[in-house]
Amino acid sequence: LCCRKFTYNLKLVSATMEGLSSSNPKGYLATPGPDRNGEHMMGTTIMAVEFKGGVVVAADSRTSTGSYVANRVSDKLSKVHEKIYCLRSGSAADTQAVADMVAYYLDMHSVEVDSPPLVKTAANLFKMTTYNNKDRLLASIICAGWDEKKGGQVYSIPLGGSIVRQPFAIGGSGSTYIFGHCDASFKEGMDQKECEAFVSKAISHAMSRDGSSGGVIRMAIITKDGVERKYIPGDKLPFMKDD
């Protein structure tokens, strides 16, 4: 009788452990909660606008891993040369790798030609890298900057590796909420201050609607004089302001 009881208890314990491992593969002591083991994604809102003397680029600061906010103050404005920046959306790892590669090639190119690279050159490097690896990358890029040949320029390089120059470009998961607002608010010939207001209001609207966008707004104004960085904290977003 004692042997039978002991065998029965072992079977019961074994069945219980199997149930635990199938429902909780990390083990009994694993802490339940949001998924923290997925790929870091730049579910985001990014935006760039041309004006007469340069460009304004801006983005929110939320980086997510599934439903978990991995970083609420990340910097999605990546410098690839002195007056050329890229805005990244998609997989954080993929876009960082692509930006690092383009920055490396631009440095070599500028040494070879003994002058700063053109914005179009940087955009084409992004296009070639993403197109040639389109089956392995999840990367959507906006490349913007200033050069002596064409002034301020904005190029959109969406998933798949096409390239389009636009007076303004938006991207990321939050952009789907603000296409109508941007089409209605954009005006040809805006000056720097108007572009800053346009960009900050559009991104703050996207952040209020998109669960994958949030945090603060990081902005950069790129002109012939260099790059000026600006920061709008989360409690000072111009959402729903009429001024």
Structural tokens at position 138: 């999840």
Q: Using only C-alpha atoms, what is the Rg of the chain?
A: 24
44 is an active site residue = yes
Q: HSE of 73 in the Cβ direction (CA atoms, 13 Å)?
A: 4
3-state secondary structure of 133: coil
Calpha distance 149→140 (Å, rounded) = 26
Among the listed residues 44, 65, 129, 130, the single catalytic one is 44
Residues 6+ apart with CB under 8 A from 112: none
DSSP 52-102: TTEEEEEE---EEETTEEEESS---EEEEETTEEEEEEEEHHHHHHHHHHH
| CA of residue 89 relative to chain centroid, distance | 3
Could you tell me how many helices (H) and strands (E) the chain has, helices first? 5, 13
Instruction: For residues 143 and 193, give the distance between their C-alpha atoms in angstroms, rounded to a whole number.
Output: 21
Give the residue numbers marked as catalytic: 44
